[in-house]
Amino acid sequence: MKGEKNYRTQTGSKYSEEKKQINNSKALGVMALIALLILFQTVQLIVSKSTQKPKVAEPYKPTLEMFSFNPNTVTLDSLQMLGFTQKQAQSILNYRNKGGVFRVKKDFAKMYVVDSLKYTLLSSYILLPDKLPATKTTRKNSLDEKRAGVRKPYIKEKKNVTKDSVYGTKIQQEYRQPEMIDLNKADSTSLVGLYGIGPYYATKILRYRERLGGSFVSIHQLKEIDGFTQEKFQSIENRVCINENGIIRFSFWEIDDTFLKKHPYIGAYAARGVMLFLSRNQELRGLSGKEVLDIMEKEKVLSAEVVKRLEKYIK
């Protein structure tokens, strides 16, 4: 009995040791398998990164806005809106500043910053003729008429001439006064014709005129437009004017709060005060607009500066 018990004990201990060895080998196998999987994934990641092409940033493509323009008067910002870079646009202005003039459309295509594709896109928007008008007579035609015995009637031309000390007689060309543009009747086409005023500023001038109630009372109001510099104003002040008959005046009793809110001299905050004042003082309807303005100034509804600006607009 004792021997049998010892045999069973020895057999059980051997079995448990074998079981532990099997479990240890399984654990080692699982760990080895996990290590292989991690190694495999790492190798795949390295290979994919090495074969992946680097992303190249796409070149900047400016947003194009197509509109009619004259290369002799178009501004820097308008050229950029047409798709030119700032450097390209500046080179066109430099050409003009040195005395360059574009007489026909193809003159614009001769600029090195204007490639064939860009010229094709813009040619229909250039406000220049395709070619210069032909001269009335040529030297060859004159010689042919002389040989044929054709005589033309002599017409004495009146010319204003002055004596030049170096080159003798010099003919003075007739100076034509440029046409004045009334800011209260001008449209975008006439405004774009002014030096330094492209479509961008022409639109801003028309929008500001609308906010004022439909008219300007002084050309100096252009300087109130955002971005309209003193230099830009000086470049056109001799070409624009205000016709007194074109000034649109209004009465406080005929307008609403929407008009007052968008008016550049009043605004949303002051508009509420004006409408409240008018609703509480209906007995003032019989007074003139100037008298009503004076009362608003005394009651602190509007400042003295705003009252002074509005005086020419009030009926």
> Would you say residue 78 has pLDDT above 50?
yes
**pTM, 2 dp:** 0.47
* Three-class SS state of 29: helix
Chain segment 180-205, per-residue pLDDT in tens = 899 999 898 899 888 888 899 999 99
Whether the CB-CB separation of 247 and 312 falls below 8 Å is answered with: yes
On the CB side of 121, CA atoms within 13 Å amount to: 12
Tokens of 226: 């955002």
Whether the CB-CB separation of 215 and 184 falls below 8 Å is answered with: yes
> Would you say residue 154 has pLDDT above 60?
no
Confidence at residue 193, expressed as pLDDT on a 0 to 100 scale: 86
List Cα–Cα distances, 133 to 119, 175, 176, 252, 303, in angstroms.
22, 22, 21, 56, 59
Whether the CB-CB separation of 95 and 111 falls below 8 Å is answered with: yes
> Would you say residue 41 has pLDDT above 50?
yes
Confidence at residue 53, expressed as pLDDT on a 0 to 100 scale: 56
Chain segment 240-297, per-residue pLDDT in tens = 999 988 899 988 888 888 898 999 999 888 999 999 999 999 998 889 888 999 999 9
| Average pLDDT, rounded, for the chain | 78
